[in-house]
Structure 1
Amino acid sequence: MSVWQEEIIMNRPMKTLICIGALLTACGGDDSTPRTGELNLQVTDAPVDSAEQVVIRFTGVSYKPAGGAPLQVVFDAPKDIDLLALAGGDAAPLVSNAVLPAGAYEWLRLDVDAAFDTVYDSYIVIAGNQYELRVPSGAESGLKLNGGFTVPQGGAASYTLDFDLRRSIVEPVGQPGYFLKSVIRMVNNAEVGTLAGVVDGALVASACTGSATGAVYLYQGADVTPDDVDGLDAEPVASGSVAMQGDGNYHYTIAFLSPGSYTATYTCDTATDLPESSELLAYAGTTNVVISTGVTTTQDFLP
Structure 2
Amino acid sequence: MINKLKQFWRGHRAQRVARAIDFAGVGNMPKTIHAVAMAAVLPLVACNGHVNLDVTDAAVDKLSKVYVQFDSVTLKPAAAGAVTVTLNPPLTIDLLALEGGGTSRLLNNKQLSDGSYDSLSLGVSADGSGKDSYVVLSDGTTKVPLLMSSSAGLTLNSRFKVDKDGTRNYVIDFNLRKSVLDPLTGTTAYRLAPKLRLVDRDASGAIAGSVAGAGATGCSPAVYVYAGSGATLGDEGSAHAPLTSALVKAQATTPVTYTYKVAFLDPGTYTLALTCQADADSPEIANESIGLSNATEVQVQKGTTATVNF
Partner of 1:218: 225
Please state how far the C-alpha of 1:182 moved relative to its aligned partner: 2.1
SS in 2 for 1:90: coil
Change (3 A) 1:179 1:239: same
Say if 1:34 and 1:153, in contact at 8 Å, map to a contact too: no
| Equivalences for residues 229-244 of structure 1 within 5 A | 229-230=236-237, 232-244=238-250
Task: Pick which of 32-41 and 118-127 moved more.
Answer: 32-41
Say if 1:112 and 1:142, in contact at 8 Å, map to a contact too: no
Partner of 1:254: 262
> Take 1:29 and 1:241, find their aligned partners in 2: how far apart are those partners?
59
Please state how far the C-alpha of 1:285 moved relative to its aligned partner: 1.3
Q: Deviations over 1:198-229 (max 9, x none)?
A: 1113xx25xx534x441100000111131100
Change (3 A) 1:44 1:27: farther
> Take 1:156 and 1:27, find their aligned partners in 2: how far apart are those partners?
28
Say if 1:43 and 1:163, in contact at 8 Å, map to a contact too: yes
Partner of 1:299: 308
Pairwise CA RMSD of aligned residues?
2.2
TM-score by length of 1: 0.83
Q: State the number of aligned residues.
A: 268
TM-score by length of 2: 0.81
Does residue 267 (structure 1) correspond to residue 275 (structure 2)? The answer is: yes
Please state how far the C-alpha of 1:280 moved relative to its aligned partner: 1.1
Please state how far the C-alpha of 1:111 moved relative to its aligned partner: 0.8
> Take 1:142 and 1:260, find their aligned partners in 2: how far apart are those partners?
25
Partner of 2:170: 159
Partner of 1:182: 194
SS in 1 for 2:206: strand
Structure having the higher helix fraction is 2
SS in 1 for 2:90: strand
Say if 1:110 and 1:142, in contact at 8 Å, map to a contact too: no
Q: Deviations over 1:130-182 (max 9, x none)?
A: 221122354xx682111111111111111011111111111252444122112
Does residue 131 (structure 1) correspond to residue 144 (structure 2)? The answer is: yes
Partner of 2:297: 288
Partner of 2:131: 120
Task: Pick which of 30-39 and 191-200 moved more.
Answer: 30-39
Say if 1:261 and 1:289, in contact at 8 Å, map to a contact too: yes
Please state how far the C-alpha of 1:26 moved relative to its aligned partner: 9.3
- Amino acid in the other structure paired with 1:166: R
Please state how far the C-alpha of 1:124 moved relative to its aligned partner: 1.1
Say if 2:251 and 2:257, in contact at 8 Å, map to a contact too: yes
Please state how far the C-alpha of 1:27 moved relative to its aligned partner: 11
Please state how far the C-alpha of 1:108 moved relative to its aligned partner: 1.0
Does residue 227 (structure 1) correspond to residue 234 (structure 2)? The answer is: yes
> Take 1:76 and 1:27, find their aligned partners in 2: how far apart are those partners?
36
Q: Deviations over 1:31-51 (max 9, x none)?
A: 596511101111110000100
- Amino acid in the other structure paired with 1:218: V
SS in 1 for 2:178: helix
Say if 2:49 and 2:113, in contact at 8 Å, map to a contact too: yes
| Equivalences for residues 54-133 of structure 1 within 5 A | 54-116=66-128, 118-126=129-137, 127=139, 128-133=141-146
Does residue 191 (structure 1) correspond to residue 203 (structure 2)? The answer is: yes
Please state how far the C-alpha of 1:284 moved relative to its aligned partner: 2.3
Partner of 1:145: 156
> Take 1:216 and 1:85, find their aligned partners in 2: how far apart are those partners?
18
Please state how far the C-alpha of 1:112 moved relative to its aligned partner: 1.4
Partner of 1:12: none
Say if 2:153 and 2:196, in contact at 8 Å, map to a contact too: no
> Take 2:176 and 2:14, find their aligned partners in 1: how far apart are those partners?
42
Please state how far the C-alpha of 1:244 moved relative to its aligned partner: 1.6
> Take 1:27 and 1:219, find their aligned partners in 2: how far apart are those partners?
57
- Amino acid in the other structure paired with 1:288: E
> Take 2:182 and 2:303, find their aligned partners in 1: how far apart are those partners?
37
Say if 2:203 and 2:266, in contact at 8 Å, map to a contact too: yes
Unaligned runs of 5+ in 1: 1-24
Please state how far the C-alpha of 1:84 moved relative to its aligned partner: 0.5
